[in-house]
Structure 1
Amino acid sequence: MNALSSAAVRNGGGLIDDPLFAQIAADLYDTGYSVIPKALPDTLTTLLSLSQQQLNKRDYSEAGIGRLADHQTVSTIRNDEVCWIDGNTGGGKAWLNWTEGLRHYLNCHLFMGLFSFESHFAHYAPGHFYKRHYDAFKGRSNRVLSVITYLNQDWQQEDGGELVLYQNDEDTKGISVLPETRTLVVFLSEKFPHEVLPAARHRFSVAGWYRVNDTLNGRVDPPR
């Protein structure tokens, strides 16, 4: 990250305005990831859930891998479906406002240079999955920080569908996160491989990624 001390991050240099943001920043400094159960504000969770419930089948598209010309759908790797968030619904607008606040906080305290944010609703039907992968390729300035939250009420251990976050390529055990409503997961995109295990019931989440400004020689990146 940078030369900030962990204590300075936790104290926020006198600029703390959100204890949740402060915890996320401290966790990222200490370990590169943050897993916080029951973290997302109730009102925001309710708005996101209402927006998700208003979606129908035609609003979703089959999820793929890769970006732009490299994008392709490979059902043996992932078979979830997604609906990109544009801020035109109450839940989407509230989520983008909240993540914008987090962006400013992390840039202020960790100097991460986060520039833009993209996000979608994700739906995993029973038995669907996303095999082990990275959200960004090492050495490329694309996705820098991943953010995930869940919209699943009364989720039980036997329902499955865990996110498994691995420390590195050699890690075979990982950290298992049950997709319970309001749980928040934030991690460095190119550092932690992860996967979504099959669930026994419909599983809903919101996933997003912060990117840096990698515009060079007139090529705009992130694309407008």
Structure 2
Amino acid sequence: MTLTDARLAADDFATDAIDIDQLAEHGYVIVPNFLPRSQCSALYDYAQQLAPQAWQQAGIGRSDNYTTNTAVRQDKIRWLSAQEPLENAYLEMMDQLRVQLNRELFMGLFDYECHLAHYPPGAFYRKHLDAFKGRSNRILTTVFYLNSEWQEADGGQLVIYGERGEVLETVLPEAGKLVVFLSDVFVHEVLAGLRDRFSITGWYRLNTSIGGLVDPTS
């Protein structure tokens, strides 16, 4: 079964699996089984079979400040596109979740962008924020994991920190698990792992278009 074949099942997960109250109260939520194993496997197999040239070295910053720095970030990424059927199925599902979040939390989320992320063994992403207050239209971060049979000893955990630097969560990147958190609130990092680690990281954004240009540089 592919994600495209299972789209109706995905509709149910997208609308029912998120604890909206948890997200509203704490600013983040962890959903252990957002998608069933068959759909995770389809996405995992798809990511694994992509040619090397389909990936690019991930960077930090945006626009004129964008740069690659492997001392900070070592993953490779591929932005999802509606032109690829499997990628589009995931994008459509997450857009349904956007509608639900807007309906229940009045967040005014305008669109969603996301990429596949591949962390080879030993790769990491140091502590960072996904957005800075007043300087980005990224509102909610989502991370969805594709890795089957992942164990604590494999490493690669997502660590989420509180406002005083305390560890709030250490998340094992297990297949089917979705993490959602406020982009400009939670500092987080990805620890080095011992295995190839695949995920899909995305952001729900506000509409800050000017003169028809969405998300203009500043």
Return the offset for 1:42.
3.9
Return the offset for 1:28.
1.2
Return the offset for 1:50.
3.0
Q: Residue 87 of structure 1 aligns with which residue?
A: 82
Q: Secondary structure at the match of 1:174?
A: strand
Find the partner of 1:18 among 7, 10, 15. Answer: 15
Match of 2:199, as an amino acid?
Answer: S
Q: Residue 221 of structure 1 aligns with which residue?
A: 214
Q: Residue 172 of structure 2 aligns with which residue?
A: 178
Q: Residue 164 of structure 1 aligns with which residue?
A: 159
Distance 2:182 2:23 in 1: 8
Return the offset for 1:56.
1.8
Answer yes or no: is the 8 Å Cα contact 2:15–2:97 preserved in 1.
no
The answer to whether structure 1 residue 205 and structure 2 residue 205 are counterparts is no
Find the partner of 1:71 among 66, 69, 76. Answer: 66
Q: Secondary structure at the match of 2:214?
A: coil
Distance 2:153 2:25 in 1: 31
- Give the 5 Å matches for 1:52-67: 52-67=47-62
Return the offset for 1:208.
0.4
Task: Give the superposed CA RMSD.
Answer: 1.6
Return the offset for 1:116.
1.2
Match of 2:58, as an amino acid?
Answer: A
Q: Residue 148 of structure 2 aligns with which residue?
A: 153
Distance 1:19 1:114 in 2: 18
Answer yes or no: is the 8 Å Cα contact 1:47–1:94 preserved in 2.
no
Answer yes or no: is the 8 Å Cα contact 1:162–1:196 preserved in 2.
yes
Q: Residue 181 of structure 2 aligns with which residue?
A: 187
Distance 2:97 2:37 in 1: 17
Return the offset for 1:48.
1.8
Answer yes or no: is the 8 Å Cα contact 1:65–1:72 preserved in 2.
yes
Find the partner of 1:36 among 18, 31, 38. Answer: 31
Distance 2:170 2:43 in 1: 24
Q: Bigger CA drift: 82-91 or 100-109?
A: 82-91
Return the offset for 1:20.
1.0
Q: Residue 42 of structure 2 aligns with which residue?
A: 47
Match of 1:137, as an amino acid?
Answer: F
Listed as ranges, the gaps of 5+ residues in structure 1 are 1-16
Aligned length: 203
Match of 1:64, as an amino acid?
Answer: G
Pick closer, same or farther for the CA change 1:117–1:190 going to 2, 3 Å. same
Q: Residue 142 of structure 1 aligns with which residue?
A: 137
Q: Residue 4 of structure 1 aligns with which residue?
A: none
Distance 2:140 2:148 in 1: 26
Q: Bigger CA drift: 147-156 or 31-40?
A: 31-40
Return the offset for 1:44.
3.4
Pick closer, same or farther for the CA change 1:94–1:41 going to 2, 3 Å. farther
Deviation digits for residues 30-61 of structure 1 (CA, Å, limit 9, x no counterpart): 11100111222445323322321221211110
Distance 2:189 2:16 in 1: 29
